[in-house]
Amino acid sequence: MNIDELEFKLLQSLASQYPTIAAASTEIINLQSILNLPKGTEHFLTDIHGEYEQFNHVLKNGSGSVKRKIDEEFGNTLSSRDKKSLATLVYYPAEKLELIQKEEDNIEDWYKITLHRLVQITKRVASKYTRSKVRKALPKDFAYVIEELITEKVEVQDKEGYYNAIIHTIINIGRAPEFIIALCNLIQRLVIDHLHIVGDIFDRGPGPHIILDTLMNYHSVDIQWGNHDIVWMGAAAGHWACIATVLRMSARYGNLDTLEEGYGINLIPLVTFAMDTYRDTDCSCFKISYNTSYNTKDLDIDTKMHKAMFIIQQKLEGQVIMRRPEFHMEDRLLLDKINYEDKTVLVDGKSYAMKDVDFPTVDRENPYQLTKEEEQLMERLQHAFKRSEKLQKHVRFLFAKGSLYKTFNSNLLYHGCVPMDENGNFKSLVVDRRKYSGKALYDVLENYARKGYYITKDTAERRKGQDLIWYIWAGPNSPVFGKDKMATFERYVIADEETHKEKKNSYYALRDDEKVVNKILQEFGLDTEHSHIINGHVPVERKKGESPILCGGKLFIIDGGFSRAYQSKTGIAGYTLVANSHGMRLVAHEPFESAEAAIKNETDIFSDSVIVETTAHRQLVADTDTGAILKSSITELEKLLKAYEEGLIIEKV
């Protein structure tokens, strides 16, 4: 056995973990057994946009995975009503138990029947994992008992009597409710092995902070940043243009409570500024799109804050564009193109009538300069964003668990697009006097986004990083934005809808072309025959006949309108994707009423499920990225065994 010095040191390090031939051999056997288990189920969600109730429900039911396990286990032996009731219990165990305890005449019998059923489902969902992995997932208080109930006891002759005795004891000592909750949570945990969030947790809906709290407690998750995530990340870093954007959008959708109550950000300085500066100003173009929970008594002040932040955003974005000529976004400099006398503005050299020119803080000679009051306001808001403990915790989580793209088990995940020209060539962006395109563009932008957040000193690198975070949000060659411009100014204050159009990147016209899709897969180092692209960002309008499945099943768009703001346009309430050992299933969801209705009436989200790919053989852990790592570990352990056998390394017995 010929090995170099470096490899010998690595084997010595491995020997400290497995000091004997027996230990190394046992680990090889263990790893080999894991390789032969079915791969875990992956769950893909995107464009959640703060809709926390629907998100939580889809997460709890695994996009129908829990219900399918119940059907598989009980078939026709349970009525559809009983199966529906059991599914609701699994989704909302504590809340459902509270109702049942009030309504059920013989609660002990109900406990007995329900515990038996839950144990059966737990056995089924645990069967594809090693005992070690299941053991790690068990709730601490009931770990031993659950393991006894779901493990086949060969040595026990009267198995039914043995299990009945355990369940009887659980009921007898008054621990049935807690045990039922523990089993339901375990089923949810085991049904989905890994969760992918393909961008846009923030904006529009009221609960992004609730969603992020949930994700931080989830057992296994990764996140691909969407444009609405990145702008919040920039705001948390303290970038003024990002802060102004976040505030303008929060006001626009009646979600300022997310900032005040969710993140503890003090908006009194903004309230005071808006009430004073915009007291006698026409704000009719700055209407609020609010939901049923919005308190309309705040409408007047929220409208004023909305307009105030719109003007500040236009100024701050103009400053970024002027100091970063390499962004080539001069067409977005519109404040200096306004003719206040005839109420028009020049856009791309053409004059358009404006609906509003009542901008009390805009200096016509120097339109992009903040007033002294606006500057003081932004300083106070920056301080509030940077000092919000919860926001910073959530953004650090997004950086730790997130990225602009991810390759995982032969799937390429990204939120928006790979910027291309009409011929399918990758478009480039100049960063540090060098052109970047394709995968390299993603990598350099992500690298600078991390610098913009994590560098604490006010350096050129930090400032560039933060400006690039803003570019990722709104730039024409940004992979998560994917349009030639963000027509915020035009949509607010120009009536002519011709100016509102935002031209999509050519990627969107080419993503049904197999050559283009293969080119993208190859760019990210993936096999073109068995790999897929999983994409969000642009809602699929099913009511117009659009399909989420493109390029013969190589590309899936799973944004179907999770956000209520999009549902009238898409006709559904979002797509999700489930990939298990048998293949891939695309799920289209109908609108979700509420968690309260789901618990009380046992109503689930109606989901139309379509199998989009079935594998020729059941996929095993050996076929996954984890499998590749385990195979590498086995190879190293086999080298260690040989080193022991040849006496190169001595056993520690």
The whole-number pLDDT of residue 1 equals 62
The most confident of 34-48, 266-280, 576-590, by mean pLDDT? 266-280
Mean per-residue pLDDT, 426-432: 94
Residues 32 and 73 in one domain: no
Quick check: helix, strand or coil at residue 599? Answer: helix
Q: Residue 50 — left, alpha, or beta (φ > 0 → left; ψ -120 to 50 → alpha)?
A: left
Residues near 224 by beta carbon (within 8 Å), at least 6 away in sequence: 196, 197, 198, 199, 402, 403, 404, 405, 406, 413, 414, 415, 536
Token reading at 601: 């009436």
Same domain, 143 and 248: no
* Residue range 487-498, pLDDT digits in tens: 999 999 999 999
515 found inside a domain: no
pLDDT at residue 608 is higher than 60: no
Residues 316 and 448 occupy one common structural domain: yes
DSSP 3-state percent helix, strand, coil across the chain (nearest 5): 55, 10, 35
Burial class of residue 106 (count of CB atoms within 10 Å of its CB; 0-12, 13-18, 19+): exposed
Dist CA 520 CA 535 (whole Å): 13
Report the SS3 class of residue 641: helix
The residues, ordered by sequence, that sit 6+ positions from 154 with a Cβ below 8 Å of its Cβ are none
- Predicted confidence at residue 335, as pLDDT, reads 96
Q: Between 392 and 126, whose confidence is greater? A: 392
Q: What backbone phi and psi angles, to 5 degrees, belong to 432? A: 55, 45
Structure tokens that stand for 511 in this block: 């993503």
Does 487 map to a domain? Answer: yes
Provide mean pLDDT across the span 13-27: 92
pLDDT reading at 499 higher than 80: yes
Domain stop point among 493, 528, 546? 493
Q: What is residue 609's predicted lDDT score, i.e. its pLDDT?
A: 57
Kindly state whether residues 106 and 243 are assigned to the same domain: no
Kindly state whether residues 167 and 245 are assigned to the same domain.
no
Mean pLDDT of 170-179: 89
Q: Are residues 295 and 381 in the same domain?
A: yes
Residues 260 and 349 in one domain: yes
In a domain, 44, yes or no: no
> Does any domain span residue 222?
no
Distance of alpha carbon 454 from alpha carbon 469, whole angstroms: 12
Q: Is the pLDDT of residue 111 over 60?
A: yes
Whether 236 and 379 map to the same domain: the answer is yes
Which has more pLDDT, 149 or 255?
255
Alpha helices in 104-259 (DSSP H): 107-126, 131-137, 143-150, 159-172, 176-191, 208-216, 227-237, 240-252, 256-257
Gap between the Cα atoms of 405 and 413, Å rounded: 6
| Dist. CA 136–CA 193, nearest whole Å | 13
Give me the pLDDT at residue 565, please. Answer: 63
Q: Which residues pair with 238 in a beta bridge?
A: none
Closest CA to 225 of 263, 258, 197: 197
User: Considering the domain boundaries, does residue 393 fall inside one?
Assistant: no
Residues 521, 527: contact at Cβ < 8 Å? yes
List, for residues 468-480, the tens digit of each pLDDT value: 999 999 999 999 9
pLDDT of residue 241: 98
Task: Tell whether 88 and 160 lie within a shared domain.
Answer: yes
The per-residue pLDDT for 560 is 57
Pair of tokens at residue 197? 């969030």
Amino acid symbol at 234: G
Q: Which of 21-30, 149-158, 213-222, 240-249 has the lowest mean pLDDT?
A: 149-158
Q: Residue 607 pLDDT > 60, yes or no?
A: no
Whole-angstrom Cα distance, residue 423 to residue 126?
49
**What are the structure tokens assigned to 209, written together?**
């902070």
Q: What is the mean pLDDT of residues 68-86?
A: 90
In a domain, 518, yes or no: no
Annotate 210-228 with three-state secondary structure: HHHHHHHCCCCEEEECCHH
User: Does the pLDDT at position 605 exceed 70?
Assistant: no
pLDDT per residue over 252-293, tens digit each?
Answer: 998 999 999 999 999 999 999 999 999 999 999 999 887 767
3-state secondary structure 44-106: EECCCCCCHHHHHHHHHHHHHHHHHHHHHHHHHHCCHHHHHHHHHHHHCHHHHHHHHHHHCCC
Residue 541's pLDDT band, with cuts at 50, 70 and 90, is: low
Determine the Cα–Cα distance for residues 85 and 96; give it in Å rounded to an integer: 9
Distances in Å between the alpha carbon of 382 and those of 234, 236, 244? 11, 8, 10
How far is the C-alpha of 389 from the C-alpha of 386, rounded, in Å?
8
Picking from 461, 493, 525, the residue at the C-terminal end of a domain is: 493
Contact 508, 520 (CB under 8 A): no
Average pLDDT over all residues of the chain: 90
Comparing 601 with 421, the larger pLDDT belongs to 421
Question: Is it the case that residue 162 has pLDDT exceeding 90?
Answer: no
H-assigned helices in 339-437: 372-386, 389-401
- Both 180 and 299 in one domain: the answer is no
- Predicted confidence band at 588 (pLDDT cuts at 50, 70, 90)? confident
| Residues in CB range of 260: below 8 A, 6 or more apart | 266, 267
Please give the share of the chain, as a percent, with pLDDT higher than 70. 92
Q: Is 515 exposed, middle or buried (0-12, 13-18, 19+ CB in 10 A)?
A: exposed
Q: Is the pLDDT of residue 599 over 70?
A: yes
pTM of the entire structure? 0.91
Residue with tokens 């719109």: 310
Which of the four pLDDT bands, split at 50, 70 and 90, describes residue 141?
confident
In a domain, 412, yes or no: no
- The reply to whether 591 falls in a domain is no
Q: Is the pLDDT of residue 168 over 80?
A: yes
Confidence of residue 580 (pLDDT cuts 50, 70, 90): confident
Provide the b/e sequence for 338-364 (b: ≥16 CB within 10 Å): beeeeebbebeeeebebebbbbebbee
| C-beta neighbour count of 156 within 10 angstroms | 11
The structural domain count of the chain equals 3
CA distance 273 to 650: 75
Q: How far is CA 486 from the centre of its chain?
A: 23
d(CA 512, CA 504): 15
Question: Per residue in 306-357, pLDDT tens?
Answer: 999 999 999 999 999 999 999 999 999 999 999 999 999 999 999 999 999 9
List the one residue out of 320, 331, 600 whose CA is nearest residue 469.
320
110 pLDDT more than 80: yes
Report pLDDT digits (tens) over 618-651: 889 999 999 999 999 999 999 999 999 888 888 8
Going by the DSSP 8-state scheme, the letter that residue 335 receives in this structure is G
Same domain, 23 and 82: no
Q: Are residues 102 and 179 in the same domain?
A: yes
Range of the domain at 282: 227-387+422-493
- Name the domain boundary from 452, 475, 493: 493
Would you state the pLDDT for residue 563? Answer: 65
